[in-house]
Amino acid sequence: MPILVITGTGTEVGKTVTTAAVAASALAAGRSVAVLKAAQTGVRPDERGDADEVARLAGAVTATELARFPEPLAPATAARRAGMTPVRPQEIAEAAAKLAAGHDLVLVEGAGGLLVHFDEAGGTLADAAELLRAPVLVVASAGLGTLNTTELTARELRCRGLELLGVVIGGWPDSPDLAMRCNITDLPDVAGAPLLGALPMGVGALSPADFRTAAPSWLAARLDGTWDAEEFRGREAP
C-alpha cells in the first residue's frame, strides 16, 4: 500500500487529524511518509494549511500542497473565483506517484468529500484514485446521518472498482449518544468494509509528542495501530 487516498464523507469530519494519526502510526512503525494535500482552500498564504498541520502533529513527514485558494469553497469554485489555475486529477496522481518513488507511504488528502470538484471539467479525488489505482480510506462522523453519507461514498467507490480499505470515525466523544453507539455496528455494514479506528474528539489539540505516542491506539493493525474494533464495540455499543 504505497499510496493511500484519504477522503471524508463531508467537511469537518476529522479528515486532517485522521491523516496525521495514520502518518504518525506509520512513522512509529519505521516507514517514511509523505503527505500530499491535493488542494487547500480557505487559507491565506501566510497561514498553516492541512499538510502543515499533519506535519506538526505527526512529525517527520514530507508535506506537499499542490495549490492554495483563498476562499473556503470547493476547489473548482475557489480557483475560478480567484482567477487561478485549478488542480486536475492527473496532477494529483502524478505528484503522488513521484512522492511514492521516495517514500514507503504517501497519504493523499482530499478536500471535503469524494466527489467534490477540483476543476471545471468536474474532476474529483475519485478520478485521481482511479488513475493511481490506490485504496481509499473513508473518514466518517460518528453521529446521526453518517450511515447515509458513508454508504453513498462506498457505493461510488465500488462503482469505480476502487478498494475501500476501511472506515475511521474521525471524532468519538466522551459521552456518545444512542445513534453514535449504534453506528459502531452499522458503519461496517453499510460501507462493506471494516471499521479501522476511532479518534477521540479533540485529539488535534494534544501536544505533538502526546499525539504521536497515542496515535497507534486509535487505529487498527491495518493502519499500523493497536486499536481493536471488537473491543471498542464491546465497550461502546448498546
Catalytic machinery residues = 37
CA distance 202 to 213: 15
Residue of 194, 188, 187, 183 lying closest to 219 (CA atoms):
194
Record the cell numbers describing residue 32, joined without a space.
517514511
Residue of 1, 12, 4, 38 lying closest to 149 (CA atoms):
12
Number of H helices, E strands in the chain: 9, 9
CA distance 187 to 145: 11
CA distance 166 to 227: 14
Beta strands in 68-224 (DSSP E): 68-69, 105-113, 136-140, 164-172, 195-200
Length of the chain: 238
β-pair partners for 166: 137
Whether 2 and 102 have beta carbons less than 8 Å apart is answered as no
CA distance 29 to 96: 21
